[in-house]
């Protein structure tokens, strides 16, 4: 049952081959069996899930249809869920239950999807390994000694281990694509503005974007379809029609122009990973695509620019966690400063503090022009590089991550090395483009992801390009042993 695709589940539910309650119970059982090893969930919402499943069955019985109706999903614990704890992976919000739903949560409720629980993540989405979570690190189902990637590591791990057919995620610098790659599944981050950020706890507002995880492009398209769309409550969401993301899936790739940025195949890329990616690109040539070498000359500036812009925004976004109205409050504060210092000191972990400090520094009087302003200017140049490239090519491909999954603890004491694991994904967020990662092979039995980058609002094309590859290969059908 856990190997069914969403389309298969949907058909089976409609034909009453099994009920949503049965399916949901099946997944809850799997979570119960496997998640003690993986730690991919912070909260499992058994009761609520079964209630929602029951309601979905009722809707199906009344003749209602919908591709997500009755389909279980795992929800990243960054999306607010009325009545269910939303921790954002932080001690700061360990006691926090929002009295409102994120727009994404609302849309999934309307679609009749069934929430199995809230998935583990790096604290406030700051991390590339899921080691910064207050709730402990998530394990990679392909080898539990390895990280699943981050920050949406819980969602990626859960989908890879068949603990949920699909999951939500958010991506600020690669937080969907990198864990998708490291866990051997499919993940898509749409264009900035496509999915409402309302009720999605902010890390870096100008970069954060919600998206979907699934085992196939086809399923990822279904989940994205449900959560995309304009929302008046988010001024940065885009008021333009959402196309049918599945409409073009079967379009042949003959004549597709694929750009390979030479800067993404340079020093720092693991040779074995490069081989896997080149083989995947060969496959695209077999499918009729044309490969063109391109240049994104400002690529090397992506990581430094990102580590000014994202911390700057986060330093301000996280100021609201002050122990005054909700969230962690220190015991018996003696005065206001004590309340602030201890509540924030105890509530935030090391990586979050590091980024708040970097961001505060970058915005300080006397440094603003040299750091934040300069970073924003370079951000524009990085974006221009892509605009230029898309005049020549339809999509851009690269490795998602310079290496396969690394061991838990391997990089956690070296933030810069950790930051470099997002080197190929970050520029996409800085430019606001859609990006995807699909399974492309293995290195030492660990999955490797192929990144596909599209031009603005080109999600349907990305999903088509990914789907065609998945029709011709079966990397996405591989599953970790024991699940």
Partner 1 sequence: MEWETVIGLEIHAQLATKSKIFSAASTAYGAMPNTQACAVDLGFPGVLPVLNSEAVTMATKFGLAIGAEVSKRSVFARKNYFYPDLPKGYQISQFELPIVGIGELEIELENGETKTIGITRAHLEEDAGKSMHEGLGNESGIDLNRAGTPLLEIVSEPDMRSAKEAVAYMKKIHSLVRYLEICDGNMQEGSFRCDANVSVRPKGQKEYGTRAELKNINSFRFVERAINLEVERQIELIEDGGHVAQETRLYDADKNETRSMRSKEEANDYRYFPDPDLLPVELDQAFFDSVKATLPELPDVKKHRFMKSFKLSAYDASVLTSSRELAEYFEAVLVAADNEAKLACNWVNGELAAMLNKENKDISESPVKPEMLGKMIVRIKDGTISGKGAKDCFEGMWLGEGDADEVIKKRDLKQVQDSAAIEKFVDDVIAANPKQVEQFKAGQDKLLGFFVGQVMKESKGKANPAQVNQLVKDKLK
Between strands 186-189 and 210-214, the pairing is antiparallel
Q: What are phi and psi of 127, to 5 degrees?
A: 160, 160
Among 147, 106, 156, residue whose Cα is nearest residue 128: 147
109 is a contact residue toward partner 1 (CB under 8 A)? no
455: tokens are: 């031009």
**Neighbour tally for 424: CB within 10 Å:** 30
151 is annotated as an active-site residue: yes
Region 316-375 residues binding partner 1, contact defined as CB under 8 A: 316, 318-322, 324-326, 336, 340, 360, 363-365, 368, 372
Q: Which of 151, 157, 212, 237 is catalytic?
A: 151
390 is a contact residue toward partner 1 (CB under 8 A)? no
What is residue 73's three-state secondary structure? strand
Q: Where are the beta strands (DSSP E) in 427-473?
A: 435-443, 446-453
Is the Cβ of residue 80 or residue 460 nearer to partner 1 in the bound state?
80
The β-bridge partners of 143 are: 140
Instruction: Give the CA angle between residues 308, 313, 314 to the nearest 5°.
Output: 100
Is the Cβ of residue 63 or residue 366 nearer to partner 1 in the bound state?
366
215 is a contact residue toward partner 1 (CB under 8 A)? no
Q: Which of 175, 191, 196, 403 is catalytic?
A: 175
Is the Cβ of residue 250 or residue 368 nearer to partner 1 in the bound state?
368
Is the Cβ of residue 2 or residue 316 nearer to partner 1 in the bound state?
316
Return the DSSP state at 476.
G
197 is a contact residue toward partner 1 (CB under 8 A)? yes
Task: Kindly tell me which residue out of 49, 74, 201, 242 binds partner 1, with binding defined by CB under 8 A.
Answer: 201
Stretch touching partner 1 by CB under 8 A, among 30-38, 286-294, 311-319, 424-432: 311-319
Q: Tell me how long the chain is.
A: 483
Stretch touching partner 1 by CB under 8 A, among 18-26, 176-184, 234-242, 405-413: 234-242
Region 75-94 residues binding partner 1, contact defined as CB under 8 A: 78-80, 86, 88, 93
Task: Kindly tell me which residue out of 63, 99, 255, 482 binds partner 1, with binding defined by CB under 8 A.
Answer: 99
Q: What residues have CB less than 8 Å from 201, skipping those under 6 apart?
A: 78, 79, 80, 86, 88, 93, 124, 125
Between strands 41-44 and 435-443, the pairing is unpaired
Q: What residues have CB less than 8 Å from 248, skipping those under 6 apart?
A: 460, 461, 463, 464
Q: Name the site residues for partner 1 (rule: CB under 8 A).
A: 78-80, 86, 88, 93, 96, 98-100, 102, 197-202, 204-206, 232-236, 312-313, 315-316, 318-322, 324-326, 336, 340, 360, 363-365, 368, 372
């Amino acid at each position: 049952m856990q190997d069914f695709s969403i389309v298969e589940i949907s058909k089976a539910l409609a034909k009453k081959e099994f009920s949503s309650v049965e399916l949901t119970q099946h997944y809850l059982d799997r979570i119960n069996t496997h998640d003690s090893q993986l730690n991919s969930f912070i909260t499992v919402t058994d009761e609520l899930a079964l209630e929602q499943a029951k309601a979905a069955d009722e809707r199906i019985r009344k003749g209602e249809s919908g591709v997500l109706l009755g389909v279980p999903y795992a929800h990243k614990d960054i999306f607010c869920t009325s009545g269910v704890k939303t921790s954002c992976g932080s001690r700061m919000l360990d006691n926090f239950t929002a009295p409102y739903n994120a727009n994404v949560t609302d849309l999934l409720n309307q679609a009749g999807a069934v929430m199995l629980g809230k998935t583990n993540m790096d604290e406030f989405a700051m991390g590339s390994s899921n080691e910064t979570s207050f709730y402990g690190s998530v394990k990679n189902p392909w080898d539990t000694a390895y990280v699943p990637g981050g920050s949406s590591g819980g969602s990626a791990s859960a989908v890879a281990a068949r603990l949920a057919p699909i999951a939500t995620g958010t991506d600020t610098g690669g937080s969907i694509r990198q864990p998708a790659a490291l866990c051997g599944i499919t993940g898509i981050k749409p264009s900035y503005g496509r999915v409402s950020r309302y009720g999605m706890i902010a890390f870096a507002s100008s970069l954060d974007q919600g998206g979907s995880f699934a085992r196939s492009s086809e399923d990822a398209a279904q989940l994205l379809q449900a959560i995309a769309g304009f929302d008046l409550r988010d001024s940065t969401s885009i008021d333009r029609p959402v196309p049918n993301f599945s409409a073009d899936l079967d379009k042949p790739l003959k004549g597709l122009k694929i750009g390979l940025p030479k800067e993404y195949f340079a020093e720092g890329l693991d040779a074995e990973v490069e081989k896997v990616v080149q083989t995947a690109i060969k496959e695209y040539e077999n499918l009729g695509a044309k490969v063109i070498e391109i240049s994104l000359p400002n690529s090397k500036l992506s990581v430094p620019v990102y580590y000014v812009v994202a911390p700057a925004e986060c330093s301000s976004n996280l100021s609201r966690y002050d122990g005054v109205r909700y969230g962690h409050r220190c015991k018996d504060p003696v005065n206001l400063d004590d309340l602030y210092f201890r509540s924030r000191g105890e509530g935030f972990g090391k990586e979050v503090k590091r980024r708040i400090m970097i961001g505060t520094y970058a915005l300080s009087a006397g440094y603003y022009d040299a750091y934040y302003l300069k970073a924003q200017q370079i951000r524009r140049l990085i974006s221009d590089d892509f605009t230029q490239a898309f005049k020549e090519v339809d999509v851009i491909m690269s490795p998602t991550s310079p290496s396969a999954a690394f061991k838990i603890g391997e990089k956690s004491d070296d933030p810069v090395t950790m930051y470099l694991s997002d080197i190929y994904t970050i520029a996409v967020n800085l430019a606001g483009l859609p990006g995807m990662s699909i399974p492309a092979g293995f290195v030492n039995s660990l999955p490797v992801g192929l990144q596909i980058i599209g031009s603005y609002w080109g999600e349907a094309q990305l999903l088509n390009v990914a789907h065609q590859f998945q029709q011709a290969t079966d990397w996405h059908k591989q599953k970790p042993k024991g699940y």
